[in-house]
Structure formats: structure tokens, C-alpha cells
Amino acid sequence: MMGIKALQSKLTAPTPILPLVIFRMAFGLLMCFSQLRFMWKGWIEDCFVSPSFHFTYQYFSWVEAFSAPTMYIIVGASALFALFIGLGLFYRASSILFFLSFTYLELIEKSWYLNHYYFVSLVAFVLIWLPAHRNLSLDAFLFKGIRLSKVPMWTVLVPKLQLAMVYFFGGMAKLKSDWLFEAQPLKIWLQARTDLPIIGSLFEYDGTAFAFSWAGMLFDLTIPFLLWNRRTRPWAYVLVAVFHVLTYILFNIGMFPWLMIAGSLVFISADEWKNLFGKFGLSLWELTENGNPFKTRKMALPLLLTYLIFQLALPLRHFALTDNVLWTENGFRFAWHVMVMEKNGFAEFSILDNQTQKVFTVYPSKYLSVVQEKQMSFQPDMIWQFAQYLNETYDANNEKDLSIYVNSKVSLNGRASQTYIDPKVDLLKVASIDAIYGCVVGLSDSGRTH
């Protein structure tokens, strides 16, 4: 009981608001840019508008895309909400609306799942509950009474923990034989980047891939602790910047590196910011406080604990679901499996009309976008979903007796392609999306082609 009280008092102890404010600004402005970039790249059409069929998430099949103009408005609005978060304008409403709009967009299409999209949703959700606008914000400028210079410690701790979990579980996901003992998929990816000046020639050697694999794993597992430790923090942050800039140069990884670099700013304490400014002859003005201290509500800490337990359990669930998460992908998403595999697949479907004995061969490219087809070809749940869609398409009135089979081949981390889903299984007889994982043929390690 004493321990809980001590923990509670530690978590509610006042701490400078500056790191939280900087985190808010960095996150908001970066997300604004990210959403505008999404529009500019034409991904609204590619992801939301063009596909006639969407792979929705389990329990979220009711989420649907709207017409192109509406989708532009929603993405544009989410960019605006993100900007407002960055500026700290109408913060609470902006953070709620950004969370809702961004998460809605993310839920429309599973084939576009990215770890950093999930991370953004989580951070946006967390920000709703944090007083990140109570200084250095337009809200604090307009409503001077809300200004705070200190906030409870837990409000700065939550984004730190969230970020630390991405790194730590990302490191754990690398504790696999492919990564450590075959240097895969880095061996493949680095060999494909020998065009880089100076360091490119090093990528021809297997030793480089091994060095990068082990260094990457060690970086992910240790960096949260190095960032947390006051002594190691300056170098740890430099390491974060170097590591992520390198991944940006080497891989087609988009916003993720910048998000992690910006997010890691939350670890830098107020004193360190002052010192940093001091190095350049600048002084950081004292943050004033006009409002009442931020009070932690009774339910805040238990809810926080529940949230953290959930965040710890989700990335570990695959241990209970499968013995090879990279192959079966059962429990792969929402678990920070970042950059751990090169996977390609092929799938063609046969539809048997049991009454007429006619067989139709379906090539997914007729119905799916390039991204959808690529992602579906090696993800069992999406193969199952597509089979259901074909059933609805070929038997709109539910009058026929159809069976649907898939001929699928998948290659993982340089292995020769292998049969993926049991071709004898009638996908329409697979009762649920979870049951399809039981139809994945085991991975054979023989026949590595690389």
C-alpha cells in the first residue's frame, strides 16, 4: 500500500512542462506535414478512392471510405487539426478531432497498415488527456489563466513510455534467427543500396549486413534506457538522429524516422533545453504560471496503468498465437515488428460452382490495387477476406453453392517461394478470420535462394 502511495506521489510530482510542450509542437507540425504530403502524393486516390474493395480491420468492417472530395476534406481537416495541435490552438478539441480523423483514415484500408500510422493514433489518443497546451501555445496566449509551468510527472512519462515501447518491442522483434544469424532481410536490402556514395560499396559484404543487424537490434533494445539516463542522453539523442537519418537514406521508410527523431525530444529535460540554448548564447525565457496547478484526477492513474498493460500485452500476443509470426503474421500488426522482413507473394483464386462443376480462375489484380494485391498475397487474414468478397461478387444473391480455393506462394527473407495457404482448403468453409491462420502451411527452411 505504501509502495502504491509512493509511486502515486512520484507520478504526480510537479515537473517542468517544457518537454511536453516541445513534444506537442514537434508532433503536431510533423503530422500536419505528413497529412499534406499524403494528399500531395496522390495517396487519397490510391488508398481510399480507387479500390472498389477495402480490406477493413477485424471488428471495424463498418468503416467505409467516402467520395474523393469528402476524403480530401477529411485528410485536409486532419492536417489542420494537427497544425492546431502544434500551435496549441483549441488544443483539446483539435487533439480529439485529429485522433478521430486520423484513426478513421487508418482503419479504412488494412493493406496500407504501417507501424508509424498506429503509433500516430496512439500518441494522438494520449495527447487528448495531457495538458500539453498549457504553455507556449495559442491557447495559453488567448486564455492566460490556463498557463502552467509545471505538470504532474506522469503527463511527461506517458509519451516517453509510448516511445520507449516502440523501440524496445522493435528490438525484441529482431531477436529472431533470420535477423541475427542470417542477417536477413538487411542482407537483401543493403545489397540493393550499393548505389549510395562511399558507404555503398560496403553493402556488398555480408559482414556489413551482420554488423547492421546486430547494431540495429542493440540500438532498439538499449536506446530507451540511454535516452532515459541523464548522463547518456546527449549522445543517445545524437545516436537517434544518426540512426534514423541513415534508415531514411537506406530504405523507403517515409515519415517514420522523422517521427521518432521528433518524438524523442520528449526525453530532453527543461534544464537541458536551457543549457542547449545557452550554448548558442540564447536564453530560454521562464515559463510563467497563471492558472491553478494541474490536478490529477482519481481515475487517471488506474486508467493510465490499464492503457500501459494493454500496450505491453498487444506486442507480445503473437507468442501465444503462433510459433513464427513473420511467416503466419498472426499477431504481427500492432506489435512493432518494424523492418524485420522482406516478403513477397503470389495468389490466384479458383472458384468452383459445386452445382455446375464450373471453375472460374480469378487473378486478384482484376479487383485490387497494386498495393492491396501485394499485401494480400502474403497475409492470411486478407486472403480470407478477399475470398469472402469473391463469394459476394460471384454469388450476389446467395443462391449458389461455391467453393473458393487459393493457390498461393510466398517467399520470406530470401527463402525460395513456398506454398502458403493449404490449396485444398475451401476458404468459404473457414469459419472465421482467425481460423485462417490454421490453414497456413508450415515454413520450410530448406532451399534458401539467397
Partner 1 sequence: MRKAFTRLRFVCTIALVFFQSCEQESDAEFQSQTELYKNAQLANIYDNEVAVLASSLTKETQLLEQATKTFRTNGTTADLKSAQEQWKAVQSVWKRLELYDLGAVANSFIAFEINRWPTDIERIEGHINGSEVLNEDFIASLGSSSKGIAAAEHLLFSVQDHILDASGTYLQRRNEYLLAVVENLHSKALQLQTLWETHAVGFVQALENGINGSQNQVINAMVSLIEEIIISKLGNPLGDTNGGTIVPERLEARLSAFSKEIVQQHLTALKRCYTGDFALTPFRVGFDDFLILIGSEKLSEKISDQFAVCQTKLNDIEGSLEDALVSNPESVLALKYAFRDLLVLVKVDMANVLGSTITFNDNDGD
> Applying CB under 8 A, which residues contact partner 1?
41, 43, 46-47, 112, 114-116, 185, 188-189, 191-195, 197-198, 200-201, 203-204, 234-235, 238, 242, 251-256, 272, 275-276, 279, 338-339, 342-346, 348, 353, 356, 358-363, 365-366, 369-371, 374, 409-417, 447, 449-450
Transcribe 173-209 into DSSP letters.
TT-SHHHHHS-TTHHHHHHTTTTSTTGGGGGGSHHHH
Q: What is the DSSP string of 350-409?
A: EEEETTT--EEEE-GGGTS-HHHHHHHTT-HHHHHHHHHHHHHHHTTTS-S-EEEEEEEE
- For the bound state, the minimum distance from the C-beta of residue 445 to partner 1, rounded and expressed in Å, comes to 14
To partner 1, the closest distance from the beta carbon of 18 in angstroms equals 17
Q: Least distance to partner 1 from the beta carbon of 87, Å?
A: 25
- By beta-carbon proximity to partner 1, the closer residue of 233 and 317 is 233
Task: Collect all residues with Cβ–Cβ distance below 8 Å to 237 and sequence separation of at least 6.
Answer: 227, 264, 267, 268
Min dist. Cβ of residue 193 to partner 1 (A): 6
139 vs 373, beta carbon nearer partner 1: 373
Q: How many CB atoms lie within 10 A of CB 295?
A: 9
Largest CA distance in the chain: 84
Burial of residue 399, with CB atoms counted within 10 A of its CB: 0-12 exposed, 13-18 middle, 19 or more buried = exposed
Q: Which residue in the block uniquely carries the three cell numbers 511527461?
A: 156
CB of 215 to partner 1, least distance (A): 17
Minimum CB distance to partner 1, residue 115 (Å) = 5
Nearer to partner 1, 92 or 374 (CB): 374
Which is closer to partner 1, CB of 64 or CB of 271? Answer: 271
For residues 160 and 266, the answer to whether their CB atoms sit within 8 Å is yes
Identify residue 397 by its one-letter amino acid code: N
Q: Which CB, 5 or 279, lies closer to partner 1? A: 279
CB of 294 to partner 1, least distance (A): 29
CB nearer to partner 1: give 140 or 261: 261
| CA-based radius of gyration for the chain | 24
Element holding 347 (H helix, E strand): strand 343-353
d(CA 394, CA 410): 26
CB of 43 to partner 1, least distance (A): 7
- In the complex with partner 1, which residue's Cβ is closer, 94 or 115? 115
Q: If phi over 0 gives left and psi between -120 and 50 gives alpha, with beta otherwise, what is residue 330?
A: beta
Using alpha carbons, list the distances in angstroms from residue 198 to 93, 146, 213, 241, 289: 49, 53, 20, 20, 52
Complex with partner 1: residue 142 or 416, whichever CB lies closer: 416
| Grid cell locating 428 | 468459404
Minimal distance, residue 412 CB to partner 1, in Å: 8
* Residue placing its CB nearer to partner 1 in the complex, 152 or 224: 224
Q: Residue 415: beta bridge partners?
A: 448
